[in-house]
Structure 1
């Protein structure tokens, strides 16, 4: 089982977030030394729809290059390197595997058990987003210094786990992105938020 990265997204800690913060252009050459790791652990290489920021179809990374992360992360290379470092430090793949949760389209696991496994390992409550009884996204939330925090939904600090779109028992679907069938046996979107 492999959990794939889907981004490092700043937010306002109330369920809203900034978007399209600067007009800087994405330069793929800036991250060329990270390309191998990005392709393996952040496989969302291309957009199927036009991005509201980048103005068209193309590399999904161009949409996610972190302009709204400034000044916490100062440049494009720093954004992608920081995202990978957070991904490896809080390795959800390993956390779930060690707790006995493996990808299966048929096996159902208790939502509370998955949340507890992550809480115990990370020290904060994650958010899970489900569709048709299966995990679609798993989000970890962090302070600006990248220390874990509970994912909250609004200014009253309501913990997101209590407002989950997931049923009590969920599956961790077996999913392989197009073109990466031999590289990644299973992918779960993992979004990381800063406050």
Structure 2
């Protein structure tokens, strides 16, 4: 009987270990609010007011090296606001919602946790804390403005944007664009990669699909 329970315990530990490593890396994604809002769909400011003119967190997403990703790994694990209460002030500032209708962020954070966070092998508090700390580590706006790339409606080359971030952060970003109301390509989201322990930035094993125009607008907000 003891041998039977020992085998069960070993199997359980194997399953937990396999789950915790069941992805290869994270995408850490930040978005520029001016580009989110300057589209035909437009945006709504959070019920707490207009966010700062800074990149905001979109998410921390587990991914596989082949470009696919796990999703909604534990339907029983719902977002619990009480587990992130100590982070709420930072989340409102650094992880704001811009979706319509205007909200307080809870719907956005719930979606990110339930779709991506449940696959991360992190608890809720650690998941959001990790993303917030990564944002501080990779200060994208400072990286760009230090290189003379300002959010003032001017256009810049894709390579100059990537080079500015790599020089500052140390790793190659993926730049995602969207189109403004006039159809011009604009700087929308920046992807950086993190190892599967969520400890260190790394070079991305693979990049998402998509491309930007030769000249990219950096709109004001």
Highest Rg: 1 or 2? 2
SS of the residue corresponding to residue 134 of structure 2 reads: helix
Normalized per residue, the structure richer in helix is 2
Number of residue equivalences: 155
Q: What corresponds to 2:217 in structure 1? A: 171
Give distance in 2, aligned partners of 1:93 and 1:87: 10
Q: What corresponds to 1:14 in structure 2? A: 66
Q: Give 1:46 deviation, angstroms.
A: 6.0
Q: Unaligned stretches of 5+ in structure 2?
A: 1-52, 180-184
Give distance in 1, aligned partners of 2:100 and 2:109: 9
Q: What corresponds to 2:190 in structure 1? A: 138
Moved over 3 A (4+): 45-48
Q: TM-score, normalised by structure 1?
A: 0.72
Give distance in 2, aligned partners of 1:6 and 1:172: 18
SS of the residue corresponding to residue 189 of structure 2 reads: strand
SS of the residue corresponding to residue 68 of structure 2 reads: coil
Instruction: Provide, for residues 109-157 of structure 1, a one-character-per-residue CA deviation record: whole Å limited to 9, x for no partner.
Output: 111111001111222111111123101211111212432223343xxxx
* CA RMSD after TM alignment: 2.0
Q: What corresponds to 1:68 in structure 2? A: 119
Give distance in 1, aligned partners of 2:62 and 2:151: 29
Q: Give 1:89 deviation, angstroms.
A: 0.8
Q: 2:138 aligned to 86, 90, 111, which one?
A: 90
Q: Give 1:15 deviation, angstroms.
A: 1.6
Q: What corresponds to 2:82 in structure 1? A: 29
Give distance in 2, aligned partners of 1:100 and 1:164: 25
Q: Unaligned stretches of 5+ in structure 1?
A: 49-57, 154-159, 176-195
Give distance in 2, aligned partners of 1:46 and 1:129: 19
Residues 1:98 and 1:142: Cα distance change in structure 2 (over 3 Å): same
**Corresponding position: 1:109 with 2:156:** yes
Q: TM-score, normalised by structure 2?
A: 0.64
